[in-house]
Chain A
Amino acid sequence: MEYELQNPRRERLERTAIGLGWFSIALGATELVFGEPLARALGMPRRAGVLRLFGVREIATGIGLLAARDRQPWLWGRVAGDGLDLAFLAANVDGNPRPVGIATAIGAVVGATAMDALTAQGLAGCERKARRAQVDYSSRSGFPLGIQAARDLARHALQQSAVRH
């Protein structure tokens, strides 16, 4: 769904989504170019090919995030990709010679997943709110004589009350 920027919160979330897009491209490029050293650092030297594939996915998602007018589906796409990353890393924990490296990677992916999900959820909330804003009750004052008359009436009553006291 397309929607316009209307408030600071949405602008903040959009900026975060763009940041995540660039992060995705940078991470993807790193995985693609440095697949082998990265795989070694994570204690799974034979998995460099998988890391490169993940890199391609990251780059594609990043480009999608930067190019799309509606970034939500791409953010949820990142969340799904994060799930794939986590599953892959978890499958390579047992007997891993670099436990610190893989634990750090898992921690980083969990953090990124949270960021992706919160941003997507926040944008979904903004979209819901934008839809609700189309219901407008700004003509329903409840004061048949108008607000100013209501305020004048109140002022008059308060003055009378002060005189009585």
Chain B
Amino acid sequence: MRALVWHGKKDIRCDTVPDPGIEESRDAIVKVTTCAICGSDLHLFDGFMMGMKAGDIIGHEFMGEVVEVGAENRKLKVGDRVVVPFTIACGDCDQCKAGNFSVCERSNRNRDLQDKAFGHHTAGLFGYTHLTGGYAGGQAEYVRVPFADVGPVKIPDGLTDEQVLFLGDILPTGWQAAMQCDIQPTDTVAIWGAGPVGQMAIRSAVLLGAKQVVAIDCLPERLSMARAGGAVTIDFEEESVIDRLNDLTQGKGPDKCIDAVGMEAHISHHHPDSIYDRAKQAMFLETDRPHVLREMIYVCRPAGILSIPGVYGGLVDKIPFGALMNKGLTIRTGQTHVNRWTDDLLRRIQNGEIDPTFVITHTVRLEDGPAMYRTFRDKQDGCVKCVIKPQQLH
């Protein structure tokens, strides 16, 4: 089969690789009909995540048709149409039973590696380093889905791939980010980053009843999409984020802040700390660029909540912990517990409350995937979200 394969930093190729097969009795093999490039895939592309090996198949946002099931899989049958969550959950461990699917205690088959790096292990993820199990990803014609009697979400007839694909990652990620904010009708929710997750977080905050949603970015096309979703926008290259947020909240600061940027914050002379972070990254003294974290801590209203769906990989420094502590801020973060939210979100899609297709700006074949990584990374051609059709040859 053909798949997008990581060969090294900034080197992703469309290769022919062996087809996957059933390895465990609860597995399923899914023929991928639609997948997407996620913002967090760019961290792999740019070489900021440790634990990748040349030859790894990438991609963790995908859906398709079940073509083979393991002997003990009672949930799926051949022909089922499913969206596969990017987190792999066993469904049996304490964490899965508590709904904490992204910290499943059993699905990460390289748990020793992650125990050493993080103190404990978290769930296995598709196509996202050997720290999270080294599972083959879904930017491919076929993919093996472990514990396939737990994660995959069966899709009813009448919905297109594009309508439901993002149930596997960015929609529940944006939704969880907003849910973590405990949004009240009087709240101003500020969201840093108007990329795909930020866009979903904006819609989620609106659907959860925030009084005011503010989106912060510097790309006009993304800001226009944010405004379309009901957000007030701040272009950080044109005005001071802190001054504007204070203006919008009568000096109180936003009640809730969402970091939908993560470890690769924009490097700009408007944010001298981002230049400092980049210099430290180059000297291997810091792995991530936490400009957004610093700004959120500074501007958030005391007793507010910071929700962090943006991916961080390792070490950050110069975090104003004194402000964080004295302002009594709450931080909530983590990979998305996808299955905790999928039933509700699927219902909302069916009811027409939200249509996630708004975010798709590009649709390409698998062969065009490597080039699209660059387009998406460089934010060229108005690219916000790229969808790939692995079965499409021409």
Contact = CB atoms under 8 A, between A and B. Distances in A.
A158 B187 CA distance: 13
Contacts of B358: 137, 140-142
Contacts of B381: 135
Nearest to A136: B224
B352 A145 contact: yes
Contact of A157 (B209, B227, B237, B359): B209
A150 B269 CA distance: 38
B229 interface: yes
A153 B230 CA distance: 14
A138 B227 contact: yes
**Majority DSSP secondary structure for residues of B touching A:** loop
A139 B185 CA distance: 26
A153 B354 CA distance: 11
A142 B356 contact: yes
A132 B229 contact: no
A147 B206 contact: yes
Contacts of A140: 225, 228-229, 358-359
Given A132-B220, A142-B358, A9 B230 contact: no
B229 A153 contact: no
Interface in B170-189: 185
A142 to B, nearest CB: 4
A54 B311 CA distance: 53
B209 A158 contact: yes
A154 interface: yes
A141 B228 contact: yes
A133 interface: yes
A129 interface: yes
Nearest to A156: B209
A111 B188 CA distance: 43
B238 A8 contact: yes
Contacts of A155: 185, 209
B115 interface: no
Contacts of B229: 140-143, 147
Contacts of A151: 206, 209, 230
B315 interface: no
B207 A150 contact: yes
Q: In which size bucket is the chain A interface?
A: 20 to 34
B382 A143 contact: no
B203 interface: yes
Contacts of B239: 8
A7 B225 contact: no
A7 B233 CA distance: 15
B140 to A, nearest CB: 28
Contacts of A135: 220-221, 224, 381-382
A9 B237 CA distance: 8
Contacts of A139: 228
A61 B233 CA distance: 39
- Of A133, A135, A136, A144, the most chain B CB neighbours within 10 A belong to A135
A142 B203 contact: yes
B384 interface: yes
Given A9-B237, A132-B220, A154 B228 contact: no
Nearest to A158: B209
Given A8-B238, A132-B220, A135-B221, A142 B199 contact: yes
Nearest to A139: B228
Given A143-B229, A154-B206, A9 B238 contact: yes
Interface string B228-251: 111000000111000000000000
B353 interface: yes
B317 interface: no
B219 interface: yes
A64 to B, nearest CB: 26
B208 interface: yes
A3 to B, nearest CB: 13
B280 to A, nearest CB: 23
Given A141-B230, A151-B209, A154-B207, 16 more contacts: A118-B269, A132-B221, A135-B224, A136-B221, A138-B224, A138-B228, A140-B228, A142-B199, A143-B353, A143-B355, A144-B355, A150-B203, A150-B230, A150-B354, A158-B185, A158-B209
16 contacts: A8-B239, A132-B220, A137-B228, A137-B361, A140-B359, A141-B358, A142-B229, A142-B354, A142-B355, A143-B229, A144-B353, A151-B206, A153-B353, A154-B208, A155-B209, A158-B185
